[in-house]
Chains A and B, each alone.
Chain A
Amino acid sequence: MKDLQLGESGTICCLQDPEMALKLLEMGCIPGTQVRLNSRAPLGCPITLVVGDMADYTLSLRVSEAATILLK
């Protein structure tokens, strides 16, 4: 996730932090889902991700939280 450039997409492989994973899963970040790094806040954190490849929606989260998402 950390290596994603602005506008680039990836597919979620797994979630590292078990507790954070519960929250991310509920928000729809299921392994196999496509995510795209949509924007960064002016100071670099938080960021927004567009989740899903069908009916998309945008999540905003801190970089530290996004770092627990591993991409394929």
Chain B
Amino acid sequence: MSGGQVVPGRAGVAASAAHLEAAALRHPGPLTRIALVGNPNSGKSSLFNQLTGLNQKVGNFPGVTVDRKTGVSQLTPQLRAEIIDLPGTYSLYPKSLDEKVITDLFYDKTSAQYPDFVVVTVDASNLRRNLLLFTQLADMGLPAILALNMMDVADQHGVHIDVAALQQELGVPVVPMNARQGVGITALKILMAQTLGAPTVSFYEPEEALLPMIRQIRYYFNLHNDYLALHYAHQYRHISFLTPDDRAYIQELTEQYDFQPTARQAQETIARYGRINEVLLNCVTVTRTEKNEPYSNRLDKVLTHKVWGYGIFFGVLFLMFQAVFAWASYPMELIDQGVAWINGLIQTNFDGPLINLLTEGVLAGLGGVLIFIPQIALLFAFIAVLEETGYMARVTFMMDRIMRRFGLNGKSIVPLISGVACAVPAIMSARTIENRKDRLITIFVTPLMSCSARIPVYTVLIGLVVPDEPVLGIFNLRGFALMGLYLLGFFAAIFSAWAMKLLLKTRERSYFIMEFPVYRWPRWKNVGLTIVEKVKAFVFQAGKVILAISIILWVLATYGPPGRLERAEARARTTAAAQGLDPEQTQARVASERLENSYAGVVGHVLEPAIRPLGFDWKIGISLITSFAAREVFVGTMSTIYSVGQDANEQTVQQKLAAEKDLNGQPFFTPARAFSLLVFYVFAMQCMSTLAATYRETKGWKWPILQLVYMTGLAYFASLAVYQFMK
């Protein structure tokens, strides 16, 4: 409290009390920390959204690559609390890295992060299984509130819960609610604003035989109860804050007492279910009538049908693909034009190198970030609806068998298909894959799918070397070539996934066992918040990397070794004047000469010996470098650089490329060269935005760098083979 700083007002005591209260609001003490835990599908995210609204932020749990979602909730007009949304879990015995953050949080009472209390969300229609986690938390001695969620579903299933009796049996406050509709939120908030004591009811006592070991651990680590000590005996290898000495101590004890973790854990779970059954016997009655036959089952008969199931799924995918590919193009164009308009406005009114940095470096980079927003928003609107309705679980169900062969997961199909539009939102969508290894493989191979930015490159080069001939009457040879490139990317992705499946070792055992949620209508608030969260994550985290690289690329293409650019420009102007070129042609000539002599040009020349075996020269080298900003930049760069030494009549890029001659006066772009370049573009990792997305999703530079090296290596050798074979 900052009361000491408050000077009593002239109006006397009453005013000073109001003053004090206002000061307390302005300088609140440490916020109450409340952790939100619950089973997957228990409506935890809905509750989190209801409590915090837009006051959410996504951070990192220390030391692990798991998103840490926190938010601030205004519980009463005077009181705010910090809410931590923990990953969904079925028990306090973690099965995955994601779940380990939960135990790490609850095992260390001395930590500053330790919550003041927990809100446990349970699915009221499935109370038995949901209470398992609650009883474990209660036995840990954590003050808790039980949010009895999804009361509407329980009603539909004919489940009637005596809330007062349940509260009596569990020894903690119980709030019946329906978080999706906002029912019960106020009651919950009022309870959350109270001071809670530790739970009074115990659900499981460790067996007598274990007590000597448990007590030694408990006193050694100064723990507040036996059950927590038992968890130390189970989990000591995975508790991040224990020192090697601590671990050795526990290991010695477990060996001394011949502690069998697996068997003990199984016994504990069975004992807990026994106890839960007793509790439920007194509080829950189920009236099951025939008309309660879940509508989900009937819907599943169609939606997971051999024929209709796949048909509908591909229809949904097609719609999604359309949205990201076609519908998103309108807002993207607006963003593009908007950025160009601002750029033009600045350029016509100001001049100087800093202005160029601002317009061509910063603003162009910023435009490169903003341009992805429509695609990300649309894709996540679809994905959020698929998740919310429960359809995503059916997708996994139908696709699992096929995708598993290649080291992927049923859910990998969504990122892979979205990758055809753009790898950036696609990689972000891999978040829905719970299994870490499957998710990594999916992220790793998704950029091999041919994205829309490759299309301009494909069309220019195919147009150059593939004749416009009909095939079988209705098809076109160029169409076949284009399809071939897409298939090439697809098979590369599948094959790489399969290879990674063999190479990537994981300690984590992979389970498919999951709850099959019932179908529900999506909550648009949740969909909206998902979109906001994803767009924010991209703009603020991946965006920084993209902006930085854009500026570096701009510097490389704009500046050169001292004096070199000026000499190049002077030379260009002299030859242009000698040839009697008009101002526009002169400008093109100057731009081209400057690019050749910039740092990017220098790098292009340095690169030439390395890429000559692929059939590329330094001009292509420059384009490969600038492509890193975005693949479609290739076309612009080629257009600039190939304006040198050509007739002014050659207008389009394709004409410019076609007119390019090699040393013998033959066309430079032979089919061998063009196909080599095409194959290079199919495989190569030339997109800093994708790397930034991978960095953000894997929380480190290891995977983006591996991706860059692998894909570029693959591209290099594939192109080498194509060129040497076709030459």
Contacts and interface: CB of A to CB of B under 8 A. Distances in A.
A38 B297 contact: yes
Interface in A44-72: 44-46, 48, 52, 54-62, 65
A55 to B, nearest CB: 5
Interface string B511-531: 111111010000000000000
Contact of B397 (A27, A31, A41, A55): A41
A48 B273 contact: no
Nearest to A47: B397
A18 B286 CA distance: 33
A58 B157 contact: no
A8 to B, nearest CB: 16
A12 to B, nearest CB: 11
Given A41-B397, A46-B397, A24 B262 contact: no
Given A43-B401, A58-B516, A26 B270 contact: no
B622 interface: no
B266 A25 contact: yes
A2 B596 CA distance: 69
A55 B273 CA distance: 14
Contacts, number: 105
Given A26-B132, A42-B398, A45-B401, A60 B516 contact: yes
A58 B515 contact: yes
Interface in B67-112: 90-91, 93, 95
21 contacts: A18-B266, A22-B266, A23-B513, A25-B273, A27-B129, A27-B515, A28-B132, A41-B397, A41-B401, A42-B306, A43-B401, A44-B401, A52-B128, A54-B286, A55-B157, A55-B284, A55-B286, A58-B515, A59-B514, A65-B512, A65-B513
Given A19-B509, A55-B159, A60 B397 contact: yes
A22 B93 contact: yes
B332 interface: no
A2 B411 CA distance: 26
A13 interface: no
Nearest to B125: A55
A12 B286 CA distance: 22
Contacts of B129: 27-28, 57
B515 A48 contact: no
B126 interface: yes
A65 B515 CA distance: 14
Contact of A27 (B90, B305, B398): B90
Given A31-B270, A42-B306, A55 B262 contact: no
A21 to B, nearest CB: 6
A57 B265 CA distance: 23
Contacts of B157: 55-56
A30 interface: yes
A42 B512 contact: no
B340 interface: no
Given A26-B132, A41-B401, A43-B402, A59 B515 contact: yes
B189 to A, nearest CB: 28
Contacts of A18: 262-263, 266
Nearest to A66: B513
Nearest to A54: B286
A61 B513 CA distance: 4
B393 interface: yes
The 5 A-B residue pairs with the shortest CB-CB distance in the complex, in nearest-first order: A58-B516, A28-B129, A43-B401, A25-B269, A61-B513
Nearest to B93: A22
Nearest to A60: B516
Given A30-B270, A39-B300, A54-B286, 6 more contacts: A46-B512, A55-B159, A57-B515, A59-B515, A59-B516, A60-B396
A27 B513 contact: yes
Contact of A41 (B266, B398, B513, B518): B398
Contact of B309 (A20, A42, A45, A59): A42
Contact of B514 (A19, A39, A52, A60): A60
Interface of B: 90-91, 93, 95, 125-129, 132, 157, 159, 262-263, 265-266, 269-270, 273, 284, 286, 296-297, 300, 304-306, 309-310, 393, 396-398, 400-402, 509, 511-516, 518
Contacts of B263: 18
A39 B394 CA distance: 12
Given A21-B266, A28-B128, A41-B304, A60 B401 contact: no
B304 A28 contact: no
Most buried by B among A42, A55, A61: A55
Contacts of A30: 269-270, 273
A65 B511 contact: yes
Contacts of B95: 23
Q: Which bracket fits the contact residues of A?
A: 20 to 34
B220 to A, nearest CB: 27
A24 B511 CA distance: 10
Contacts of B513: 23-24, 27, 59-62, 65
A36 to B, nearest CB: 11
A42 B90 contact: no
Contacts of B310: 42
B307 to A, nearest CB: 8
A62 B512 contact: yes
A52 B91 CA distance: 19
Nearest to A24: B513
A59 B93 CA distance: 20
B512 A55 contact: no
A16 B333 CA distance: 59
Most buried by A among B93, B159, B296, B397: B397
Nearest to B268: A25
B607 to A, nearest CB: 48
A31 to B, nearest CB: 7
Contacts of B269: 22, 25-26, 30
A63 B397 CA distance: 12
A44 B401 CA distance: 8
Contacts of B286: 54-55
Nearest to B90: A26
Contacts of A25: 266, 269-270, 273
Contact of A46 (B270, B400, B518): B400
Given A23-B95, A55-B286, A28 B262 contact: no
Nearest to B262: A18
Contacts of A57: 125-126, 129, 515-516
A48 B270 contact: no
Contacts of B265: 22
B43 to A, nearest CB: 14
Contacts of A28: 128-129, 132, 273
A20 B509 CA distance: 9
Contacts of A59: 513-516
A60 B128 contact: no
Contacts of A26: 90-91, 93, 132, 269
Contact of A55 (B126, B296, B514): B126
Contacts of A43: 398, 401-402
A30 B270 CA distance: 7
B316 to A, nearest CB: 16
